Structure 1
């Protein structure tokens, strides 16, 4: 009884003290806390999940402990590395100093990252205004809209850069002045290109840990094994239509950036919203952190990701399996796009999941679709019908995930045109000559000899472009190219069946030794030698090696049997492009077709003639593929749906445009392009009996729609960035 009496007296005392404090506002705050036996004072909060992350009073950011993350439903909403407040201060101070650093490929604007932060804050504060800006950008002329996708960091253009007061005033502006103000952006492209493109984008990706202020998307890590099924419920949206996921292993041309790759998934989803009209409240960027093999990040005390080497083998697969099962359990109809996975896993994961889930890999299938559309457009530009595509001789430089993806898609397209049987498939395969990177003429160099050699080269060469660290550490090197500018690169050689340790994905495209010999070629023949002997209709670059299409290679292409050879320098970013349009037109001649992965300006050929530079950008296809899959309710994303998307894009251009050498449309038409592509995907899903419908439009109703009605159905389901009327309702 004494214990009960003591409890009653204690309770009465607490009630009395509470009543006394009711008249004191400051006391109201204090009464939310109590003292534990250890002397700490936990604070009672009435928020969890994203609500507490968005509350500046209680948000700790990356300093939330793992137990706090579990208690407050934060697991997966923050990068996995728990940081102390001291480390957070170090990150902040290091970020301030980083404003003056040099970018990878040129000097940076000291204000560039400051502007980047201003733009990103708009995304944090007002998504409708943010996407309105991108939406308007996509509806303007080519030169301004092309900025929106440079290096996949188009989200940096989320606010008018010419009005730096826009964010700081926290007020809404009328949107009509945006149209006139875009003229200013176009006129000042040189000033703003470094903000939306390199070097700022390189700094933003590589220094994400320093730039991080507020989480966006979800983070799943190797530490979360066994927890992912519950973690997905920490995301507040009841419905998610589109997920873009990366493991950070191959981010753009920057390599393994670990958890810092989250920015790429954010950028891709911005385009889904801007181009395809996916509701921004129904998209989810995801980072799967399985470690990193980037030694710089492993040694960086401020890195936000797991500081351990990447998982491999069955352990890696188990993490991805658990993630896929978790997201499709909560959101059975979601579409998952895999982005920037290293080649080692890109194909394996695609084959593992594509027949079980609604997923695709943009690097493999999206790039392939855009390339196929360009290749078919090139056939039209040569004055031939698209059915002549199987007659094209194509030399491909690059056998990574993108290169093999294009090769597989092109061979399937050719085979279908030839009858879609085994002999047609074999015949189509003979139209490709694949040149990849490999080391030959290997010489072993003692470390001291390398250092002495570099000393001599640095003294007598005008410029020395050498990855010194990797060269010194490597047990062997190969001299592939040497001139006044010295580069150490891998030698690129023709793949034949004689190749040892050939990549299984490249094996179907290896030339037979006798066949190659009859053509005057051999295993490991150089790119220039292959072009010289084959005399191709198309030279396709997917190598990620800048300048690979050298003067010798382009000179060799002048011997093409085609009256209008096509050059595709598709590697990103700009510094990785195999050649520039100026080089192509000046060396090969005016009568060529040129396309690239990065945007270039058209070339003035003189006498009023223009050399058109086509940008083969994945943004022409993946938004439409995603939207079409969503609206059809297709169970999977089939090869036929991808083929329909590519052919739709190829046929989009008018005959007049194609004959001028324009094989890709202006990005100013991106919403209309996406509508057409999505409609083609919906139609193909219906024809393949994969469509199950979307919302009130069931499969039976879908089958009744005409082509025009399908396009109208797609257009009516594209979200537009307009403010809705809000009505408050008490819980």
Structure 2
């Protein structure tokens, strides 16, 4: 017996159907699930909406069955293409583009609606216009309105083509995005929590549409690279980090949540910007700031779970150190500015041992700059030296630091610098300090462009056959030196040979160089970004994606410093003899995804040995399968099985 029934839905929608026994049959009840990330039930969106949503669109990769279920018949050409065929077509389009402007236009066509990094597309739009003129801008605008958008192809292209990756995710691009964020801002790509949301953080988080957040990248925008306080415009930093982790570690976009804590801004030029989108007030500090951060962290854990990875970035040195110390043993928290960069520097030093023949404890380290990166690196170096058998006190004597006032001494102590203060007379000049202590490793994190002068570099080369020079400051105009200058002044004959022959006959005697900005590593002949030279691109892009992948897959609740030492050793182990002969102390960026997977695998083994591994009781033969699945999820669209078909 069939009975006509009417269902009054909660949103005021009435559905008519027929009841047979206890089964309700209705054409409306085709889809019963919400859209979750890139997983969608048939019937929840129309065919046209499916094509317009870059996270769901696959273009000609939709199968005939999918086209039937999703209402795509007639909206796509009958031809079918595999994703590999689509990738080949995209690569051909990029290769046929002779000008960088055309390459960027093509990427914009794919990425304009991607989440959560779409704001960078608007920056690239302005960059393309600057390169190609107004006609180019018009072409890009037309492309943005009608060309195919495909999130998966965009991220695959970005992760597999390092030339495009360097342009799109360069520190210069991100710095420009921060400066112009108010102008290019059109829609939110993350969560903004203001000082006035105190007491309502959980309610704000409930407005984020993705329920399965696994990692949260949060900043308060107070120390954005070398630009200082950018307030709410610091949102570009977590957006940039999210895109990097998606490309290099295969993290699914909907698992990432960028957050900005807008507590004001102390940069008057930013506050005077008519397009500034944040609170126009001085920064909230002290107890009010602390209570807001406490509430935010608790809200994240309450909503998404204890194993949610929270990554702090671009905060001032005091807040960075204090918040990391406060939360690291209570929640799953890391600080990218402190720990990621420290791990990369340690990796470079460990890899260089084959060339220098020195153990960690046999080096003398000179830091120019005593901020977050310097203190984090020094702390990790001390722990690594202790692991090699050096006492903690002796390890600290190997580290010398200079800040804006000169050598850090016991006569002028700041609490967070006191561990490395020396009982020494004041030294105001970096060159004087270099001549006095004769460091084998020179690390710059001062944001003072050109601070490593020719005389300093020549002095380093006179003290050691293979000195290490790290210029960590970003963007490139703030770097202490570049590869060209470092090589020129540590071995002039070698430099001349490379310029003439464009080969690397013998780098013995040249420094080993690492930079923090892609723009710093230059082609010695043409001045273009070049990864194939013997001078490595030092970026903590190696560490953060691998650590994030490892932590998320193991679901550990706390991240110890051991994790970053493991990451450093893994990276160092992947540097070959051939890399060292060419002066590289890091793996090529082309291998970045393999590096991320290797780091995550080693972290998982460590977590299993320490009984931190919460995903599986046994991880034999499961780690690899888990990671392969994790990587592939950004490439393949998945549908819930629909019981009504």
Give the TM-score taking structure 1 as reference length: 0.64
1:110-153: CA deviation from partner (whole Å, max 9, x where unpaired):
x999999996785453559999x99xxxxxxxxxxxxx9xx9xx
Partner of 1:410: 381
How has the CA–CA distance of structure 1 residues 277 and 177 changed in structure 2, closer, same or farther, with 3 Å as cutoff? closer
Q: Deviations over 1:257-286 (max 9, x none)?
A: 111111111110111111111111111111
- Name the SS for the 2:339 alignment partner: helix
The CA distance in 2 between the partners of 1:183 and 1:280, in whole Å, is 17
Q: Does 1:365 align with 2:353?
A: no
In 2, the alpha carbon distance for the partners of 1:307 and 1:174 equals 35
Partner of 1:682: 604
Which of 310, 326, 329 is matched with 1:336 structurally?
310
1:594 aligned residue:
513
Counterpart CA distance in 1 for 2:556 and 2:245 is 18
8 A contact 1:570–1:597 mirrored in 2: yes
Q: 1:167 pairs with 144, 163, 167, which one? A: 144
Alignment partner, residue 454 of structure 2 = 551
Instruction: Specify the SS of the correspondent of 1:548.
Output: coil
Please name the residue that 2:422 is paired with: 511
Measured at CA, do residues 304 and 678 of structure 1 come closer, stay the same or move farther in structure 2, by a change above 3 Å?
Answer: same
Q: How does 1:157-556 map to 2 (within 5 A)?
A: 164=140, 166-171=143-148, 201-332=174-305, 333-384=307-358, 388-418=359-389, 424-438=391-405, 493-498=406-411, 500=412, 502-513=413-424, 522-556=425-459
SS at match of 2:147: coil
Task: Name the SS of the counterpart of 1:285 in structure 2.
Answer: strand
SS in 1 for 2:340: helix
Whether the 8 Å CA contact 2:579–2:585 is kept in 1: the answer is yes
Displacement of 1:180: 11
Deviation of 1:378 (Å): 2.0
Tell me if the contact between 1:635 and 1:691 (Cα under 8 Å) persists in the aligned partners: no
In 2, the alpha carbon distance for the partners of 1:383 and 1:166 equals 55
For 1:505 and 1:574, the matched residues in 2 are separated by 27
Q: 1:126 to 1:244 in 2, by over 3 A?
A: closer
CA distance in 2, matches of 1:182, 1:508: 40
For 1:577-588, list aligned pairs within 5 A: 577-588=479-490
Secondary structure at the aligned position of 1:310 is classed as coil
1:588-629 deviation line (CA, Å, top 9, x unaligned): 214221111112125469xxxx96211221110011111101
Describe the shift of the 1:329–1:656 C-alpha distance in structure 2 as closer, same or farther (beyond 3 A).
same
**Conserved? CA contact 1:209–1:303, under 8 Å:** yes
Instruction: Pick the structure with greater CA Rg.
Output: 1
Residues 153-187 of structure 1 show CA distances to partners (whole Å, capped at 9, x for unaligned) of: xxxxxxx999946533333689999999999996x
Q: 1:328 to 1:530 in 2, by over 3 A?
A: same
Q: How many residues align?
A: 511
Q: Deviations over 1:185-218 (max 9, x none)?
A: 96xx9xx988765866444211211211111111
Where does the alignment leave 5 or more consecutive residues of structure 2 unmatched? 1-33, 38-44, 46-98, 128-135, 495-509, 527-531
SS of the aligned residue for 1:578 comes to coil
- 8 Å CA contact 2:265–2:281 kept in 1: the answer is yes
CA contact (8 A) 1:220 1:287 kept: yes
Do 2:172 and 2:475's aligned partners in 1 also have CA atoms closer than 8 Å?
A: no
Report how far residue 533 of structure 1 moved: 2.0
C-alpha deviations, 1:204-233, integer Å up to 9, x for none?
211211211111111111010111122211
Structure 1: tracts of 5 or more residues without a match: 1-46, 55-110, 135-147, 152-159, 439-492, 514-521
Preserved contact between residue 116 and residue 190 of structure 2 (Cα < 8 Å)? no
Could you tell me whether the CA contact under 8 Å between 1:128 and 1:722 is conserved in 2?
Answer: no
Is contact 1:113-1:204 (8 Å) kept? no
What's the counterpart of residue 623 of structure 1?
Answer: 545
2:152 and 2:296 mapped to 1: Cα distance? 40
Distance of 1:710 and 1:184 partners within structure 2: 27
Q: CA deviation at 1:688?
A: 2.3
